[in-house]
Chain A
Amino acid sequence: MKVRRSTQQVTLSAVLIAIGLLIPVLSPLKIILEPASFTLASHVPIFIGMFISPTVGLAVALGTTAGFFIGGFPLIIVLRAFTHAAFAFLGGWMLEKKPQWIENKKTSFLFALLIGVVHAIGEVAVVSLFYFGGEMTSAYYAKGFLTTVFILVGVGTIIHSMVDFFISQVLWESLKKNVKEKRDRILFD
């Protein structure tokens, strides 16, 4: 039974990683707030992984990081993807302890906000490294650190993260029956 759990975790994580690699490349829905751009639903596979378990969430975050690296994406994108591991694991762990946090609108909003803040801290840390290392485009420097890194990347990431979280929740409601059967088998077999 332990083997079944492990095999299902591996295959579920793998397909979520594959979707996580596809969405940023194929998504027709990009919101551009120059110089930053946000791809709608790009975090959905990580959130779905997080809803399944902290391990799957972590695996999807790290797997997409490795995939972006192998796919030749710029280093900054790879490192930003790496920071997703923190909120994926933390969120998964919190939901494992108290799954009711995403069962009503108020607690869902607060949970999404908390995850968004953790998410933003990671992204701002990476972008700041590149910003102070002189590796960003001139447009970032033209508007200054506060506007581009703190407001656009920081606040922008919180909003983007929350939007993706709510998309994931809608998706999760539809998938729940299908996934719950699998998750129950994974966790309790």
Chain B
Amino acid sequence: MDKLIFGRYIPGTSWIHRLDPRAKLLATMFFIIIIFLANNWQTYLLLLLFTLLAVKLTDIKFSFFINGVKPMIWLILFTVVLQVLFTSGGETYFQWGPIMVTSQGLLNGVFIFCRFVLIIFMSTLLTLTTMPLSLTDAIEYLLRPLTKLKVPVYEIALMLSIALRFVPTLMDETEKIMNAQRARGVDFGEGNIFQQMKAIVPLLIPLFVSSFNRAEELATAMEARGYQGGEGRTKYRQLHWQTSDTIVMLTFAVLTGALIFLRN
């Protein structure tokens, strides 16, 4: 469970670390959209090289990115296997009823795998190189126009920041509770749906109770430190858009143009 790196920042001084969080957030969102333009070897290769270059620029060990993929690997493989077994087209290597392995299916499987992995790498890159608080500042900034519609943007950003901070803590807590319940004989994932429902309740109750207590303590601590909501609140950390951030956005524009040019 420690392998899941959701919301875990790795301090550093790389070029990517120093980028404005708004630029990184916009770039990640943009990447997730333009990846759907890729539909052949050339476009996926271009995106792969681009992602590897970005990963290299972070100065973070590659294993951290692999760890980001691991929790999702079964979901990815499940999707890839379905894609491989049920896609027709091209040369058929194996067929048994509706199940078949074709050249088109294998190609689609590789493409789907690349798509999943590249998206996870990019979003892992965002969370590894950006402090959750900076990420929250960026989300808050990008959502700011919604304040005119009376959307509580500051509270939303703070909520997200606390949630991301709590994910690793709650994960460790979940692991402890699961081990404790296993030691008492609870068998997760065994039996029919009713038995599974019964098995999950002893896991959820302590998790929710301890989480609610944490929320209460956190609210008290925030108020003790003078928290009075977002209105009129000043910021210790100011965001600064620099030339390097503009370069990143221009690079993404060029990448989009290249993908449109290379796709079938």
A71 touching B6 by the CB < 8 A rule? yes
| Contact residue among A8, A17, A135, A139 (Cβ-Cβ distance under 8 Å from B219) | A8
B82 touching A35 by the CB < 8 A rule? yes
With a 10 A CB-CB cut-off, give which of A7, A73, A139, A171 has the most chain B CB atoms.
A7
Which residues of the other chain, B, contact A67 by a CB distance below 8 angstroms? 6, 160, 163-164, 167
State A178–B244 Cα separation when bound (angstroms).
50
State A59–B209 Cα separation when bound (angstroms).
19
Of chain B, the residue at the smallest CB distance from A34 is B82
- For the complex formed, measure the closest distance between the CB of B117 and the CB atoms of chain A, giving whole angstroms: 10
| Contact residue among A29, A59, A174, A179 (Cβ-Cβ distance under 8 Å from B156) | A59
Q: Tell me whether B78 is interfacial, beta carbon within 8 Å.
A: yes
A4 touching B82 by the CB < 8 A rule? no
- For the complex formed, measure the closest distance between the CB of A97 and the CB atoms of chain B, giving whole angstroms: 22
- For the complex formed, measure the closest distance between the CB of A65 and the CB atoms of chain B, giving whole angstroms: 10
Which residues of the other chain, B, contact A35 by a CB distance below 8 angstroms? 82
Q: A48-B208, A72-B123, A174-B205 are in contact. Are A15 and B170 (CB under 8 A)?
A: yes
Q: How large is the interface on B (under 10, 10 to 19, 20 to 34, 35 or more residues)?
A: 35 or more
A4 touching B160 by the CB < 8 A rule? no
Q: Tell me whether A41 is interfacial, beta carbon within 8 Å.
A: yes
Task: Produce 1/0 per residue, A17-60, CB < 8 A to B.
Answer: 11101100111110100110100110010001000000000010
State A13–B124 Cα separation when bound (angstroms).
24
Q: Tell me whether B183 is interfacial, beta carbon within 8 Å.
A: no
B156 touching A21 by the CB < 8 A rule? no
| Contact residue among B68, B156, B200, B227 (Cβ-Cβ distance under 8 Å from A62) | B156
- For the complex formed, measure the closest distance between the CB of A81 and the CB atoms of chain B, giving whole angstroms: 13
Q: Tell me whether B44 is interfacial, beta carbon within 8 Å.
A: no
Q: Tell me whether A163 is interfacial, beta carbon within 8 Å.
A: yes
Q: A34-B82, A63-B160 are in contact. Are A29 and B200 (CB under 8 A)?
A: yes
Q: A29-B188, A31-B193, A74-B119 are in contact. List 8 more A-B contacts (CB 8 A).
A: A6-B155, A9-B155, A25-B6, A27-B200, A70-B7, A72-B124, A75-B32, A138-B86
Pairs A-B, 10 closest by C-beta atoms:
A72-B123, A14-B162, A17-B163, A18-B166, A11-B215, A138-B86, A28-B188, A15-B211, A72-B120, A139-B82
